[in-house]
Chain A
Amino acid sequence: MKAKLPFLSFFFFVFSIALAANYYSGSSYFYDFPNCQTLNITMICSNKIDLNEFYFSPNCFLVENQTYVNKWVCNCWNGYKLNFTINPASNNTCDIYMVYTQEIEFTEKREVYVHYSETPIIYNTTLNQTINQTIIEKEKIVPYIPEDVNRTIDELKKSLEEQKIVNEGNTRAISLLMENLRELQSKSSFYMNLALFLAFLASLFAILLIGNFLSKKINS
């Protein structure tokens, strides 16, 4: 059996796009998020942040309100358009960090080759195990939305370890079955050879008997 281990990879790359533009107080600015699962916004300002000086919408909530730092959490979705509105009286300079996660689905091709001899049960068992394994993986991963990158990496590592253990178990089971099969093969080979040898002896004995009978007949 040759089976590639399921390929699980977690891409974590951060790229920054510095947006340089004039931001007039009293204006609204929009940011598109074609794919968005979570969005966390941190604002760090050089002057004190006044009440309602900045506002993010829709579905955004101010979760931390410090003198110079504001943190917002937005419940975003694919195709989300973030509205950032500045109060007309605002006079500040701020760095804004919008950290968002997006889910990307891709298709991975896996090839499983099953080599078996004689007993069809081995084939069925092996194939079912492989297919079930694929389904379990998908169920584990598809609904998963990480909130914290480190936790995500740890859990994915754990998932990889679990799969490694499952695959090692499968490999051992297959080896055992193949060993049994080879033993059966060896035994059947021995008995068939023995049967043929006995048949050969019986044929030889019959020929001798027939020869003996014919010689007696000729002599009489």
Chain B
Amino acid sequence: MNKKLTIPIFLILLGGIALGALVNVISNTLTATVTTKIPLETKFVAVSDRLSIVDDTTVTGEVYGGDTIWYNVTTTNHANNPIERYPVTIVSSNQGLSAGLYEIEQVIYQDNNGEWDITNLLYCVNPDGTLTPLRNCPAKGVDDPIELFFDNNGDGNAQPYEIAAGETLWNKITVRLSPALAGGQTITIRYEEHFALP
């Protein structure tokens, strides 16, 4: 007898799907080449007779006793932050400068807010950054410069002036020279912005 036998086989197919959240780490490099630029741009924009502009920060001219000279300076802050700075004026003469700078009789300062006689608020800057009143400043030799600072509150301690981000300031300085000044001497005036004194 030929009888075919079958055995039941259960076949089950199961499918499973697993979702796995994986975290990978990516490393990146951001590079930049930074060349810093001086943020304050200072410029002589106008000067009186007797004076001529040498470059943005320097004027020169032959002056005589009793002359009145003036110059107009602008300063722009290109930084995006306010900056505290110390504006200084550096003066020299081909005949030297006397002690107490009596060649200068009067200095008038003018800006957007008005004008003032600042002769008694002018100081010369010592090598250590301290200030000496104008009339006590030491004499200077031929072409030896003296650095002057306008101390606004007159306490003899240099305080910085703030210029806002992107702001442009201007001021006009008018100087009346002493009639006793020896005639025909060449003076050089530089205007600089410092971030610290000296």
Contacts and interface: CB of A to CB of B under 8 A. Distances in A.
Contact of B18 (A15, A19, A85, A130): A130
Interface stretch (A57-65, A67-75, A140-148, A172-180): A140-148
B196 A89 contact: yes
Interface of A, secondary structure class, is: mixed
Contacts, number: 209
A94 B33 contact: yes
Interface residues of B, number: 46
Given A109-B17, A192-B5, A12 B38 contact: no
A90 to B, nearest CB: 5
Given A11-B24, A27-B81, A98-B29, A192 B15 contact: no
A116 B35 CA distance: 71
Interface string B5-32: 1010111111111111111111111111
Contacts of A20: 33
Interface string A72-100: 00000000000001101111111111111
Contacts of B23: 103-105, 141-142, 144
A25 interface: yes
A123 interface: yes
Interface in A167-190: 185, 188-189
B21 A138 contact: yes
B36 A14 contact: no
Contacts of A18: 31-33
14 contacts: A7-B22, A15-B28, A19-B33, A24-B80, A98-B31, A104-B23, A105-B22, A110-B20, A113-B14, A114-B14, A115-B11, A134-B20, A146-B25, A196-B5
